[in-house]
A and B are shown apart, each in its own frame.
Chain A
Amino acid sequence: MIGLALFEIIMVVVVVAILIAVFAGNRPRPERFMAVNGLDPRPDDLDHVRMVLRRTWVSRLAGGVVGFAFGGVTGATLGGAGAIAGAGIGLLAGTMLGITIAQPRRTPASSTRIASLTVRDARNYLPRRARMATFGLACVVAGYGIFAIASAEYALTRTTTATFVLGFTTLIALSVGEAFKRRTVELRRPDGDAESVCVDDALRASALRGIHHATIGVLMCGLLLVGYGAVTTQNVATVQVGDRVVLRMPSDGFIQMEPDRLLSLHPRRYRVEWTQPGGVKHSRLIRTGGARITLNSLDVGPLLGIGYWVVVFGFFGALIEWSRAAKAWRRPQTTPSAVEVAV
């Protein structure tokens, strides 16, 4: 009991610490950005970096807050887990969009324009194995979700269907993230010298890293949802008369049981009512023949045990990825070829 309470306290402390760190501790500093990327802090470049990082910071937070509110309210129709996942998806999708639209679009200074024929590829700006991690996680979400549906104890209810659908919808983040990365990579280069091109390249890499972590975060929310879906479809509520299970119901609803005749001293019939989260009611009359009647829950299905861990992993994974998206500006370009390609 003490162990469980301690675990809950630690969970709350970790979540609050991450939230504080992300909001208060990640205000971008251009000097640090230049230093971690090994760039010469020339005044003009520093001003440009300050402007871009600030725009990105404001836009990322604004997108996140709007997404969090919208996603939370929308997801709340699926219950508590839906609200958390919906808020998470909204927060991270808003972060992706915020970072993308904050990147500056340049207009040429003269009628003569120069462009390099070197291909700018998003892979040169992202951490190594970023693509593999994203696609791998998407496969896990899809695979686990499909397996959970296939091994569900009951036909899916409206709520569990919506949970799985929302979980699978997060896979869209894969193509949206790719489109956002492509758009950022293809934005116009500055007209200045090689050093300013390197600064632009480092800014691009930081934006891409932010989008990448937000994409993984959305997929983590998808994992949370399919994990929650697996748990709710593989844990059933049961009515037992003596040792015999006489009724099984999906556990994601409001279940109540009472004697058919309330005033009877020795009731032999009980009415079991189960209300789906959507409001649809089911009712069943059970004869006990005088035996003891109890309401229990029963764990069935092979995925239930890991389902809880998948939910925890998805939740903390999303939180950590959001934090990493916020810290992207202070991470150096991991692939040096991005700078080499720039010059």
Chain B
Amino acid sequence: MNVVVDAAAATPPYEQIRAQVARMVGGGVLAPGMRLPTIQQLANDLALAPGTVARAYKELERDGIVVSKRRKGTSVADAPPKVPTREIREELDAAVQRFALAVRQLGADPDEALGKVRRLLEA
């Protein structure tokens, strides 16, 4: 499972990480107890300062989504708060609308675009 950060976006990188991890945990994509990468690994992979990732993890810990233990690292909490189903559906609808709009504006073949999406999801 991947995290994407746009360094040029208006939203601060730590918030982008926090929101994506929270969404994945809330949706059950990241299972309870699953270990997350070390701060240094994620910071290196995203080319961010370790403090930025540390802040994202700290906020996730404050929200009860992840737990950090010395020498054991950070992992998903055993009983993390679930994201309400309605909220997930709304977010999914918005993402689909953005995707459909981009496909139309580019004049792309819908079947080809959907095929690409399927391949990405199955990868």
Contacts and interface: CB of A to CB of B under 8 A. Distances in A.
A319 to B, nearest CB: 34
Contacts of B54: none
Given A120-B37, A185-B41, A189-B45, A111 B6 contact: yes
A20 B116 CA distance: 55
Contacts of A111: 6-8
A112 B41 contact: no
A112 B3 contact: no
Interface string B15-51: 0000001001000001000011110111011111000
Question: Which DSSP category, helix, strand, loop or mixed, fits chain A's interface?
Answer: loop
A108 B3 CA distance: 15
Nearest to A185: B41
B37 to A, nearest CB: 5
A115 B2 contact: yes
B36 A107 contact: no
A113 B44 contact: no
A118 interface: yes
A116 B41 CA distance: 10
Contacts of A188: 44-45, 47
Given A111-B6, A112-B6, A117 B30 contact: yes
Contacts of B35: 119
Contacts of B45: 113-116, 188-189
Contacts of A117: 1-3, 21, 24, 30, 36-37, 42
B1 A113 contact: no
Interface string A167-199: 000000000000000100111110000000000
Nearest to B48: A113
Contacts of B3: 114-117
Interface residues of A, number: 18
Interface in B37-80: 37-38, 40-42, 44-48, 73
A186 B38 contact: yes
Contacts of A182: 38, 40
Interface in A191-221: none
Of listed B40, B45, B73, residue having the most chain A CB within 10 A: B45
Contacts of B5: 112-113, 115
A90 B36 CA distance: 37
B121 interface: no
Contacts of B106: none
B4 interface: yes
B37 A118 contact: yes
A188 B43 CA distance: 8
Given A108-B47, A117-B3, A186-B41, 13 more contacts: A114-B2, A115-B5, A115-B37, A115-B42, A115-B45, A116-B2, A117-B37, A117-B42, A118-B1, A119-B36, A119-B37, A120-B37, A120-B41
Interface of A: 107-108, 111-120, 182, 185-189
13 contacts: A115-B3, A115-B42, A117-B21, A117-B24, A117-B42, A119-B41, A120-B37, A185-B41, A186-B44, A187-B44, A188-B44, A188-B47, A189-B45
Which 10 pairs, one residue from A and one from B, show the smallest C-beta to C-beta distance? Answer: A115-B45, A111-B8, A186-B41, A111-B7, A188-B44, A108-B47, A186-B40, A113-B46, A117-B1, A115-B46
